[in-house]
């Protein structure tokens, strides 16, 4: 059996025990990861990767010590089940606590946490308890605009909007088809279908999202979906608009594929972690076309990635397809969990490689459309 490996994919970190599903870097290359509770109860939830490759719980104290097997108190001020981390240009770290453990939504647990990285302390907690989240509700990922946070909610399928000045929380598009898993999608990886613990095709609702650099348009998609959807942020934040009116503003946008994670650079290009083909694509910000960046067998459910200021795409390998909940009840996880990076301009840095990449992009797109 041949193994596809590309030396442009550089390993930068390992996690011997904890699964990670997201990464975020600061301008001076501090690196933070989200550590969900998909493999067990014990995890620090958020950690900083230090220069010696150790994981340091962040910000420390009670935030990182919650254990659902032994405690159910103070869920408002500790990490219950973190699903995403994001840094911004103002030296803040944003942490999304899904509020869900297993299939159970924990009362008062779902929240967005803002951490000031200048003093490494929690600056504000944005609880979504005012929504009275129903069972199944789970926050997923976040993008930050000037005065708003936009979050996907993947448990039931919706978009959550938080006014960062007032703390007001709204949930929208909860009944719109764009935020829902599309049946009968069956995703395959490593030669087998992705099945839940009951042997049924895995379902996931609204998950990935990207906010354009000008802050005017939000893109979002369910992870197994084949389309991006887009809506203007001015419509999303217009509180006078009814659900029906807002739903009519949602447009089907660029073609995509089943993705473990995505991220957008400062030019508006989206990087797609293609879970079925174990590849990374760059999606053009103008016409939505794809260019193949890399195919490598080490890309095992590339998850929520991050573009660093020095031009690298950092990709955590979460191996979600190998977890019991995605692998027909059986774990095939291989530790350690690995983090890689690739120079994102590598696809166009040499003239000799450009024609090959273009051909790969066109041919793969044709194959994709024929599926």
Say if residue 14's pLDDT is above 60: yes
CA distance 142 to 218: 11
Instruction: Say if strands 10-15 and 337-343 run parallel, antiparallel, or are unpaired.
Output: antiparallel
Compute the mean pLDDT over every residue in the chain, rounded to the nearest whole number: 91
- Phi-psi sector, 195: left (phi>0), alpha (psi -120 to 50), beta: beta
Q: Which pair of tokens denotes residue 197?
A: 């613990």
Q: What is the pLDDT of residues 306-329, one digit of tens each?
A: 999 999 999 999 999 999 999 999
Element (H, E) at 246: helix 243-249
Angle at 250 between CA 253 and CA 133, to 5 degrees: 120
CA distance 218 to 149: 11
- Determine the pLDDT at residue 70: 86
Question: What CATH number matches the domain at 10-370, 2.120.10.30, 3.40.50.11030, 3.90.76.10, 3.40.50.720?
Answer: 2.120.10.30
pLDDT range class, residue 230, cuts 50, 70, 90? very high
| Cis, bond preceding 313 (omega within 30 deg of 0) | no
Q: What is the pLDDT of residues 325-355, one digit of tens each?
A: 999 999 999 999 999 999 996 322 233 333 3
Residue 188's CB: how many other CB atoms inside 10 A? Answer: 12
Say if residue 4's pLDDT is above 80: no
Say if residue 143's pLDDT is above 60: yes
Locus of tokens 């354009």: 212
Residue 129: closest CA among 182, 174, 76, 85: 76
How much of the chain, in percent, has pLDDT values that exceed 70?
92
Q: What is the pLDDT of residues 146-203, one digit of tens each?
A: 899 999 999 999 999 999 999 999 999 999 999 999 876 789 999 899 999 999 999 9
C-alpha distances in Å from residue 7, one per residue of 78, 342, 343: 40, 9, 11
pLDDT range class, residue 2, cuts 50, 70, 90? low
Cβ–Cβ < 8 Å for 179, 141: no
Which range is least confidently modeled, 75-79, 131-135, 184-188? 184-188
pTM of the model as a whole: 0.91
C-alpha distances in Å from residue 189, one per residue of 226, 256, 332, 371: 16, 17, 13, 15
Element (H, E) at 360: helix 354-370
Instruction: Please give the average per-residue pLDDT across 127-143, as a whole number.
Output: 97
CA distance 62 to 14: 25
Say if residue 364's pLDDT is above 60: no
- Determine the pLDDT at residue 24: 98
Say if residue 360's pLDDT is above 50: no
Write the DSSP string, 294-321. Answer: EE-TT-SSB-B-EE-TTSEEEEEB--GG
Residue 179: closest CA among 205, 203, 160, 161: 205
* Domain boundaries, given as residue ranges, for the chain: 10-370
**Residue 71 or 313, more confident:** 313
pLDDT range class, residue 356, cuts 50, 70, 90? very low
Spatial neighbors of 214 by CB under 8 A, at least 6 apart, are none
- Determine the pLDDT at residue 180: 97
């Amino acid at each position: 059996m041949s193994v596809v490996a590309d030396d442009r994919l550089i390993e930068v970190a390992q996690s011997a025990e904890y699964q990670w599903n997201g990464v975020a870097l600061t301008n001076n290359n501090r690196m933070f990861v989200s550590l969900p509770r998909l493999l067990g109860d014990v995890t620090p939830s958020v950690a900083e990767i230090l220069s010696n490759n150790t994981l340091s719980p962040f910000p420390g104290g009670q935030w990182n010590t919650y254990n659902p097997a032994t405690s159910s108190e103070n869920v408002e001020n500790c990490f219950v089940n973190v699903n995403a981390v994001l840094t911004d240009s103002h030296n803040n770290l944003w942490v999304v606590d899904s509020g869900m453990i297993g299939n159970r939504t924990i009362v008062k647990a779902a929240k967005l946490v803002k951490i000031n990285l200048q003093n490494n302390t929690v600056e504000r907690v944005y609880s979504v308890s005012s929504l009275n989240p129903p069972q199944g509700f789970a926050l997923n990922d976040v993008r930050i605009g000037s005065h708003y946070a936009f979050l996907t909610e993947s448990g039931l399928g919706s978009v959550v909007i938080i006014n960062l000045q007032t703390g007001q929380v709204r949930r929208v598009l909860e009944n719109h088809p764009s935020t829902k898993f599309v049946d009968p999608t069956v995703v395959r990886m490593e030669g087998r279908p992705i099945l839940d613990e009951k042997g049924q095709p895995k379902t996931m609702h609204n998950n990935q999202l990207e906010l354009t650099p000008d802050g005017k348009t939000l893109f979002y998609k369910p992870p197994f979906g084949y389309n991006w959807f887009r809506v203007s942020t001015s419509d999303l934040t217009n509180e006078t608009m009814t659900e029906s009116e807002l739903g009519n503003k949602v447009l089907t946008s660029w073609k995509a594929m089943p993705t473990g994670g995505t991220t957008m650079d400062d030019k508006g290009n989206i990087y797609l972690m293609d879970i079925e083909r174990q590849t990374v694509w760059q999606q053009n910000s103008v016409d939505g076309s794809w260019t193949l960046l890399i195919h490598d067998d080490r890309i095992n459910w590339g998850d929520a990635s991050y573009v660093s200021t020095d031009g690298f795409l950092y990709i955590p390998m979460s191996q979600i397809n190998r977890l019991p909940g995605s692998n027909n009840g059986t774990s095939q996880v291989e530790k350690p969990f690995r983090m890689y990076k690739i120079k994102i301009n590598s696809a166009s840095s040499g003239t000799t490689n450009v024609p090959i990449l273009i051909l790969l992009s066109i041919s793969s797109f044709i194959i994709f459309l024929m599926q």
